[in-house]
Structure 1
Amino acid sequence: MNTIPKTLLTRCILAAFALTAIAPVATAQTFPDWVSPCGTAIGGADMGEKTRLIRATAALLPPSQLVPSDVPGYYRLSAQTGGFTSIFGYPLVPGVQFYGEPQMSPNGRAGYLVAPDIIVTASHGQFDQNAYAIVFDMRPQIPVGGTSCQPPDFDHIPAANIIFPPHGPVLADFPDSIPSTITDSRFDYAAFRLTTPRTDRSFLRLRRDGDPQLGDHHAMAGHPERLAQKLSKDVGFVGMMTDALGSRPPTVVPRYRNYALLDGSSGSPLYNLTKGFVETSVGSPVGFGCMQFDASTSMPGYYSFSNVCPADAAFPGTYTSLLNMGSIKTFAAEVPAAELLVTPLQDVIQVIPFGGTLASTSFPYELRVDGRTTASVDYSASVVPPAPGNPTLLSMSSSSGTLLPGTSATKTVTVSSAAIARCGVYEQSVSFADTTHNFGDRIKHRLEVGLTDFQIEAPASNRFQGVASPYLPPQVQYTLRNPRPTAVRVEVSTTAAWLRIDGQSVPPSGTLLVGYDLSAQGTPGDSVVITMALDNAQANALPIAENSANLVFSDTSRCHNPDSDSQRTEAIVLDKRDLTVGAEILALVPEAATLDPTVSTVNVSQAFCVGDIEVSAGFVRDPTLNGNGIFQFWKPDLDLYLINPAGLRAQIWDGAAEPSNWPYEPGVYGGYSITSLRVNRGALLPPSGSNLDTFLNHPAAGTWTLQIADQVVNSVRGMATHWQLKLKGTPGACPP
């Protein structure tokens, strides 16, 4: 069976598209992408917000392409293509998603209402709001009295769905009018007014405060590949990312996965269906999606496609790509808001020990109407009842009223833990509703009472090394910390007989368990250092291999933090395969064979028989003789000698014997100049051999000496910086 290669491309959403081929994904994953927003596609729990998103999103098209239709009161899209049959010039297999659907002409983008009289879109490409007509409802719909979805008729677009220019003024054009302190092309938003408000349509709120949360549902609406309006599904929020690129100060932006961006997606909103905010929108030049083309086995030269993005190291296990990198909050501050503004929108988390005192019991919330708008807003405020069986945490008088433009009201929520009888997690929300525009915000208060947890600070290395005792390092230390105001007991256990925990050995029962009591965070005793060492007799009996064991850390309390694991495992390793010792030299190597060589020694304290050996050393040119800053040594000048503890001496490098075709190791050797050299018993040896076999089957313990000589008197004088000796052991004693 032949394997058909897959091509993975990254598409930049630009006025002119740029294509970059990248390596195929080894573990490709196909995600659902766009659906027609009609019928069951907009059903489910988020139906109301999906409908709002669909109705608020429009196609922005050149007005010259909209001409009167043959039916009065309708317009025809004069610039249409023959149908959706290819992407990037890749012919598509008939039957792929949306195959054959009519396409609108190029030079368009998407936009969306954020107030009855304000449209937001992408600003790139010499943005001019009067270069676009705004066309709503270019989507399939179920006709009145009908039962099935019908595609939009590009030849009969109702005049009521079109807003022709001239439009009102531009309110914010990023990056053109962005404050100079944060100038950067990764901001790609524009907002402009309409001359006539569209009060017949819902609008979307821009995110102005707070952040999305894991578990929120998101969707995108737009006109990918210039098709009739589509709705994306399963767009996943994976976390907040700090963007420190460009000349702006660092900003935190949301990161998403599972979405496809195609030609015409610029300006499409990504909408948080759960919270009711636009979190970002498609911009240029960093907005991109990843598309995989799969060659057809039945139709050579034709392709199907799927949305596949490479794995992202910042968010393991996810497939992510970026939308508009500039935080939409910065842009939103420049755009008048028609809706009720509530601050702060962040959820509140309070942590106390059982019977403890709350640091704060009152939380004020400001309800405000933007002074740049002209209409008042009706509101209501109330506490949401707790879940059945849970105590009441919050109190606030329910109220409602009307706020005029430029006015505000403060509502204060009081938190009490008096009704809590046991440790656990307790949650209750406060609700603020904009009853004029049908928006609502719920802010969660979470009270964690008597929960325990612990943190493990692992050492820089979890490895012991050596062929025999004494092993290095002598000990490895872990630090346990209590991050909470409730004391916790953590037990550490292992079944490895060669390990000791704070001097205690594994008992005959086979499991060593040591308990540690940590006091409340911020008090004496809230952390402890645990020392791991080796039982040398047990370790010496282990095979000459990499030996590993587990340390198990367990919270023994009954109220462990549900957001973390109560039992965690840390691996610890004893690598008996080899021993590495080294020394710093930092000495000039004298030129001429008549001078004494540079000498350096290392000590091996472990008693074993040498089974393999390797020597490495580092060099620079003498900086006093080479003002050009290229501090390297010439390899042909070098002679290296090694002497073992018993006095055996062998020349392990003979630079004069090295042939011109000797294979250099990439990244280590470069022509004749050298900054590091490694000599071993493998393939990379001069033809005369390294003579390292001289030291096999001899005892390792004692002082090893390296002698370095420069046999050639020339202008390339060198300095030795350091060297290392790597030894492997063999089982049993050395032969006589």
Structure 2
Amino acid sequence: MHKLTQWAAVMATALASTSQAQVLIEEKTTEPVKVLSELDQRRAEVYQWYLQRREYNPNEFTEVIYGADDRRDVYQVTDQALLDFAQAACVVVNRSELVNNGNGTYTLNTRVWTSQGGTLCADEPFRGQRQIGFCSGFLLGTDLIGTAGHCVRASDIPNVAFVFGFDQRGPNLDPFLTVPADNVYFASQLVTWQLSSGFDHSLVRIDRPVQGWRPMPIRRSGEVSLNDPLVMIGHPVVLPKKIDAGGVCKDPRPGQPWFSANVDAYGGNSGSMVVNLNTGLIEGILVRGNPDFTSSGGCVRSNVCPDSGCPTWEELSKIAPFIPHVPPLGLLVSPGGAQTHVGVVGGPFDNIPFMYTLSNPTDSSLNYRVTISGSAPFLINGATDPVLGSIGGGGSANVHVTLAGSASGFPAGIYSATIIFEDLTAGRSEERMHILEVGQTAFEVTPDTGLTTGGPVGGPFNATQAYTITSTRPTPVLVQVAPTQNWIAVDGSAAPLSFTLNGLGDARTVTVGMSSAANGLLNGLYNGSVLISNMTGGQGDTTRTVQLDVGRYTFPSTDTPLPITDHTTINSFITVPEAVCITDVDVEINITHTYRGDLIVELTSPMGTTVRLHNRTGGSADDIVGTYDDSSFPPDGPGMLADFNGQMAAGVWRLMVSDNASADQGTLNAWALKIAGGTNCPPVAFDDYVEVAPNVPSMLTLDGASSQSSYDFVIMSLPSHGTLADPAGGTIVSVPYTVLSGGAAVRYQPGPGFVGDDAFTFAVYDGQWSNTATLDIQVGQTTVVYDFPMDTNPGWTLTGMWAFGVPLGQGSNNRDPTSGYTGQNVLGYNLAGDYTNNMPPTPATTTALDLTGVAGTRLRFARWLAIESARWDHASVEVSNNGVSWTRIWDWETMTSVSPTSWTIVEYDIAHIADNQPTVYIRWVMGPTDSSVTYPGWNIDDVQILGILPPGQSCVADMSSSSDPFDPGYGVPDGQVDAADFFYFLDQFVLGNIAVADLTGSSDPFDPNYGVPDGQVDAADFFYFLDRFVDGCP
């Protein structure tokens, strides 16, 4: 059953005002609604609020683990600072989940986590742990607990409790299920609350002061910064407390109520505190995220995406609204987190000296004491004695950590010390751990991918994968790279390879491929690996897999994973280098996507044949994972994989995935081609595109492939605006023409003064004919003709609420930006909010742009457009070459609303309207709009008009700066016409050098062939050069 279908009834109640929820229910609910308990309904309601990130950006991606899974149970964490932070975290529960035993204890009514909209996969982290509650919270004062606004509202106060210490005690040790009363507190008052305009917070006063658990301080000034290290502490899926110290701030959104980070968050993490490790202060509350799980292989598991986002991250409500309501706690120590100091035996060591800042946020002075203990020889303020002092209200003091001289005598090992900061006035303390690594070794290996390849029985197997191994410590490390199978080679040998990396940053690249033993393998699939080991005994050991498919070529994708978002199309490409004649193709696909009935998947070969693998079948089932072949897992069609048989495999293959409905999204994780080949199919010629300079000859390479050892390129048609010459022959004057000596290049000479598009066609012949390919030529380089960076007002005609200036980041949904794509200014429709209802088409129009002589004109600009579905509201871009008649070059046509969180660069071809026109106008149109629901509308920046400018007058006779063949300036123009040019031309004329001396087909200035090369060197060329020599340079 679809996981959202199970909660459709709850969604309909909790999100009745949300159009997305209605879409999910109306379009995709096909199964009976599951009857949920009161607690499950509460959990489902909270989870759907957590997913309201989709309201903020309908194009978001559905991932939850960013890179490696950084969540750890409390018992797995040794950093005392993180353990101190974790003291403040609690789980938010219903009172009905607690039993008062009447003896100062409570029993927790938990359940075992084995399903999440389906049975959990056996390897899902934390499977089988206990669950309780529906959200996370954190202690801010003696009797104040913070959480998300969608977790606790005014109506929830009588029913909500908070439980501290719900922690896993070991790998197989559940939390205590009977807990003391000091672990359990009941909500008594809602202090402040908001759940709108991006804010999502709730501050609750509890029934009595908390005993035995430490509150956490909050940021009281400034804001989080980009890439600040973060730790999130809470209860994902309301499991025992998890500490995730692997996140960073990805988008601080200054001045806005929330920011983004790549923390590993789930529903149930809603309300979790997020602490800045640079300051030790709470920055925000985890409030919004994406669906957390996906179905795979008949079970449910966590989604994973890279740390760089998919395409963005989790959302956290900033802590600032709590400031007026939460009294300062006392002594603050920054930075937070453990510190590591690394060096060789005898030193030196990095990260020394190290400074802590102690600050007093209260109005009264406080007394403090700093002490140190442990095996590492650290000093505080130069000694091991306690440091005592006082700090006045609002003041601060610094404490310096250094190493004693004895550190140089420590043998290789890892040593630690704990520094304890005590607030003697408030009676609270914080700890920071310092770790001294002496003579330790470690390395990292990139990339993470294995090697997957294949080929015919007997070989050859040409694919390789290079790995870079880099030392991450200053102590030299001995590395061994060892194949586990004799058919695997490292740097060409099947024997283990050993080498030493000499200190931090030293690196070596090794190449993994197939050994000669692979040529003797029988038809079949072979698996092995390469072991990369730290032979010095430190960190870094890892493995890279190797798979060889004998009898079939395997070509995996290298540009995946790619996000699949609503109403979008993505393309992934595989370039096949092998000239294999296809006898059979299988296609491995790995797509995770809820509701796979949304998807169309098509494969297109280099020859242009397209087969539809998946055609919106499967309904509400999740994911497409398997290997397509025409027998056991055939494509939906139209088309069969056999349609590729007989074609040449070499070239670029394209996999297209389109999502054709709302709500459900996913990932193209990977795909691969598995091709069986023969030798008797036609060759292939590949289309190509080049840019060349005006007036001068250029060598153009022809691209094709054949399964035969030799083949010829044949010119099938000539260019319209220039000439072709064979380097081994002369000017090509008729077609078909076979390039001599098996050549794969021709010389192209554009016509004098010509700029624009030209083309010719060619084919490959090896006993059979290939297709006919086109080589498109752009004569002249595309350049920026007009540039409007919006640093200053461009002075365009603005109507309605169009304006130039700094956007204020206001409006609905994800709001306007707060600056331009570059710089501060934009041209936008209502810089302070949304467009209006019932508005007519309202343009912002450029001044007249003179594009006389410009060819290949294109429009490029940065776009931030938030708009309702094209069913209701409209936006467009139009171009005119007279200011009266307009051509629409882009129109908002998507049938879902969009509200971006970042800028997009777009580019449109306007050559058919603007080329060589003296008065070109461009306008951006907002509207018309309907009578309800508005969005922030247009914001544009960095507008550019691109095109090919006409060439300057050429100086044909300027050929050389020297007449000496041994001079570096021989054959290099110098901007003037003199004797050196004459004698250089005379040399080339005598040699019959067509590339230089073939200048004209006639010496008569009134002949149409005057100045047009004819493929031969004769008297006409000599007299034409004399004319140009007498003319000199313009």
Q: Compute the TM-score of the two structures, normalised by the length of structure 2.
A: 0.36
Q: Which has the higher helix share?
A: 2
Give the structure-1-normalised TM-score: 0.48
Which has the higher relative contact order, 1 or 2, with Cα contacts under 8 A spaced 6 or more apart? 1
